Structure 1
Amino acid sequence: MNAAGRRTADQAPRDPAPPTPVPLPGQQTWNRQRLRSNNEWLLLERLRVHGPLSRAQLARDTGLSKPTVSAALAALELAGLAREAGRFAPDRGRTAVLYEADPAAGHVLGLDIGRARLRVAVADLSGRIVARRDLPNRGRSANAVADAAVAAAQEAIAEAGLTPADVAHTVAGSPGVWDERRRSVQLAANLPGWGRPGLFDRIAEGLGSGRAVTVANDANLAAVGEYTYGAGEGSRLFVYLLVGTGLGVGVVKDGELLTGAHGAAGELGLLRLPGCDVPPGVEGDPTLEQTVSADAVVRTALGLGMRRPLTAEKVFDRARSGDPAAAEAVRLEADRLGHALAVVAALLDPDVVVLGGGIGRSADLLLRPLEEALHERSPMRPRLEATRLGQDAVLLGAVATALETARPEVFERRTAAIS
């Protein structure tokens, strides 16, 4: 999957426009119709990335003749893929009509399904969010969580003035690893029952679009979101460290998401830590996730004398206020995360590491001690950054991923209807 270029979160990702016509998926044999289709796709992508543009600018930038550009623009307008965006009056010469890609030609749906919250966003083809929902996850069973996600998505779709059929593609972010053969999520311990086969087919049926839902690991989507819209800009090898109810790593190299042979790359939190203190309620050797997640911060703080009720957020808030027990809990969290980061840095040699997830909201307290802990363990010196997208990283990654599939699909469907 290609993560697109970067702008702000309400703008379309920027991709470098290809200098020559690029075949669409499945197009192998060149003929007159396909050449025309590829010219139209080339111009549409140019308009999406660099528009609004005039006919003359498009001809100059692409090397296509002006008659070819005019014919392709007429076809794109007829298909509802491009539209006039105004006029430009130069100091000399005739007024030029400007064109842009029509963002309302299609829409996508992004879902972020986590243990604590459900987030949903509907976006047009430019990547602009047109409706969203953000609510606590109160589901007590896997089916209840799935149904709550569907209900939130239906509300967002209706708010956007759309029907389920208007959604070209849906991507859902979830903890764990997606198994396409079983059609289920594996290794999602924080969502009990979430590995049951058929659960995401239930979500797809509930959405009523007639299309399957693409499922991806939440840390991977967060990495795509941050690379596309946030702190990953300009990075050659970018790592997103997602720390919240769990621990995961997403890796983007030169715009490509690295998922591993079985989709499980970055599941750092599953590593067992023999010889470490066993947290209360944990049997056997603890996992790395059980020592650095939000629950681990709370357990550490309670062990240092802080009193319930307590959340990780409260621990960090009290550390900011000068509470010594809270400050020590934060220091220990940074030290443990530093160990995890040293492993990542040694294996991948990233130039940028972004701290995100619920714990990432407290990067103001964690980045400096985390950097010190890393330097104690490793000679590697990646730049550490706080997430710029906050809690929206997974959701925006789902949107960006959905757009990668939706844009060519919408183009093919609309151009086929006028052929």
Structure 2
Amino acid sequence: MEPVQPSRLREHNRQQVLWQLLEHGSLSRGELAERTGLSAVTINAITKDLEQQRYVMEIRKTEGAAGRPAGILDLHPQLGTLIGIDCQPTDLWVLSSDVRGERQQRQRLQAEQLPDLQRQLLNAVDQLLRAPPFGPVRQVTVSFPAPVAEEGALLEPNSLPQFDLAPLQARVTQAGAAFVVENDANLRALGEKHHGAATDHDNFMVLVQRRSGIGLGLYLDGAIYRGSDGRAGELALARWPYRRTPTFVEQLPTLPRQEALTYLVAAIAAALDLHLVIVTDDASGDHRLDRRLQQVAPQLQVVPSPLDESGSALGALAASRLRYAQTMLATGPAPAPPAAPRPAARPTLPPAPLRRLS
């Protein structure tokens, strides 16, 4: 058996410590040793190094063994700011948080004209880049009403074809942060998994009805399901017989559209063997579809979403947190800024090649 290189072993141990602090919050060195299986000597060496580089810090002391005080460690509060954005025709949500997603700030931007909305978004992101609340901006995820290919290209049907994301991407990447675009229905499913009605479920779907269109967010086997080219769940591509003519579901009048959605969603749930369907309706607030779906498929658990219109933005913020965690554990985090003003240049964090959002 080939011996493990000491440098690789040190990096593996370091990743274990970072993961425990990221996942579980503040811990003592003794708790870190117990959770990782590493010796006290190894834990002391790793945490000393992480403290010196301002990745972690001691937040308080508590009673330790034999009455000696034990230091409680946590990730540095200025390790990084994460951003989740949701784009809709007349509304934008901009959410930011620390790397663990516990401390959050949110803004809702509204305008009747798309250029005004884009200008507000650029101003809001510029402000976060100039004065990030939790340290340098590390990851930005944008929720968008269009399918998204693996390489990030927007596909059809695109509900906001005139919305230009290029200036936003340029500013974010120039600041040294990673920039990712994801479908809004997929991110709504991620929002339900982390903050909504599906926290205890690894297989479910979300029927998303918004002013920008209708879609399904599919969460299967603990991850978002995108399909072969990113169009999974695009009900805008489905047709329904209306007056003997196959008609796109989104173009149906209200009552036939509700009937079509009821039977299409019930059929998809049966085909995928799903038992939980979450229904959202940010467009009209009419939740009668819940009852129709429950009548057609009584075996389903059909629940209205507990999240408000920021649900996809919450999913985008969760995606930023998951991607940054992967990046941090794969490459080591960029250190928190020093107490003195930080230099303008920051190391670039490459986006993680993440196909599994869980």
Q: TM-score range by the shorter chain?
A: 0.7 to 0.9
Aligned pairs for 1:18-417 (under 5 A) are: 30-89=4-63, 93-140=67-114, 146-158=118-130, 160-161=132-133, 166-179=136-149, 184-194=153-163, 199-207=164-172, 208-211=174-177, 213-245=179-211, 246-273=213-240, 275-277=241-243, 285-291=246-252, 296-297=253-254, 334-359=258-283, 361-363=285-287, 365-375=288-298, 381-410=299-328, 412-414=332-334
Aligned residues: 332
Bigger drift between 114-123 and 354-363 goes to 354-363
2:342 corresponding residue in structure 1: none
The Cα offsets for residues 37-61 of structure 1, whole Å up to 9 and x where unpaired, read as 2211111211222232211121122
Checking the alignment, whether the CA contact within 8 Å between 2:209 and 2:282 is kept in structure 1 is: yes
Paired residue secondary structure (1:249): strand
1:267: Cα distance to partner?
A: 0.7
The Cα offsets for residues 227-253 of structure 1, whole Å up to 9 and x where unpaired, read as 112211221311111111211111112
Bigger drift between 91-100 and 222-231 goes to 91-100
Report the TM-score when normalising by structure 1.
0.71
Paired residue secondary structure (1:390): coil
1:385: Cα distance to partner?
A: 1.5
CA distance in 2, matches of 1:76, 1:188: 47
Paired residue secondary structure (1:414): coil
Checking the alignment, whether the CA contact within 8 Å between 2:80 and 2:336 is kept in structure 1 is: no
**AA at the equivalent of 2:222:** G
Paired residue secondary structure (1:241): strand
**AA at the equivalent of 2:125:** A
**AA at the equivalent of 1:263:** G
1:34: Cα distance to partner?
A: 2.4
CA distance in 2, matches of 1:145, 1:184: 22
CA distance in 1, matches of 2:29, 2:179: 38
CA distance in 2, matches of 1:416, 1:116: 36
1:88: Cα distance to partner?
A: 2.1
1:358: Cα distance to partner?
A: 0.3
2:354 corresponding residue in structure 1: none
CA RMSD of aligned residues (A): 3.0
Greater helix share, structure number: 1
1:184: Cα distance to partner?
A: 3.6
Bigger drift between 51-60 and 65-74 goes to 51-60
CA distance in 1, matches of 2:26, 2:336: 25
Checking the alignment, whether the CA contact within 8 Å between 2:55 and 2:336 is kept in structure 1 is: no
Q: 1:210 to 1:204 in 2, by over 3 A?
A: farther
1:8 corresponding residue in structure 2: none
Paired residue secondary structure (1:228): helix
1:391: Cα distance to partner?
A: 1.3
1:255: Cα distance to partner?
A: 1.9
Paired residue secondary structure (1:350): coil
Checking the alignment, whether the CA contact within 8 Å between 1:121 and 1:129 is kept in structure 2 is: no
Stretches of structure 2 lacking an aligned partner (at least 5 in a row): 338-358
Q: 1:180 to 1:251 in 2, by over 3 A?
A: closer
Checking the alignment, whether the CA contact within 8 Å between 1:178 and 1:186 is kept in structure 2 is: yes
CA distance in 1, matches of 2:187, 2:5: 38
